[in-house]
Each structure stands twice: as C-alpha cells, then as structure tokens.
C-alpha cells in the first residue's frame, strides 16, 4: 500500500485526501479530495467542485 503515498496526501484529521496529480480545470491549482459528506474534488483557490459519481450502489 506504500506506493499510493506517491500520489495521495492524506489528512484524516481534516477528512480529505489531496491528489497531487488532480488539477483544477478552471485555475490549474491542485484540488483536494473530500470524502465527507459526499466524495468530491474541491479547489481551495477558486472554489470549483467536481462531484464524484459512484456506481453500483
């Protein structure tokens, strides 16, 4: 599991995972990956949000 740490930056206290290779389509900033209350990618710079649609549930 250690290999995933190259791509993901965990912050369980704040409840999000930062994907280092996920950039905001609006401003190009790195987006944070939130898991609660719903899974989504959020840009802290411009506020752009991409909701992750889950399948099979």
User: What's the min distance (Å) between Cβ of 14 and Zn ion?
Assistant: 19
- Binding residues for Zn ion, rule CB under 5 A, total 8
**43 near Zn ion (CB under 5 A):** yes
Applying CB under 5 A, the span of 5-13, 14-22, 38-46, 49-57 interacting with Zn ion comes to: 38-46
For 12-41, the DSSP string reads TTTTEEEEEEEE-TTT-PEEEEE-SSS-EE
Query: Comparing C-alpha atoms, which of 25, 27, 28 is closest to residue 50?
Result: 25
Residues that bind Zn ion (CB under 5 A): 24, 26-27, 29, 43, 45-46, 48
């Amino acid at each position: 599991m250690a290999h995933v740490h190259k791509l993901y930056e965990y912050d369980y206290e704040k409840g999000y995972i930062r994907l280092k290779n996920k950039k905001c389509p609006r401003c190009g900033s790195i987006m944070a990956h939130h898991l609660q209350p719903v899974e989504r990618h959020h840009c802290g710079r411009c506020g752009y949000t991409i909701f992750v649609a889950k399948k099979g549930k």
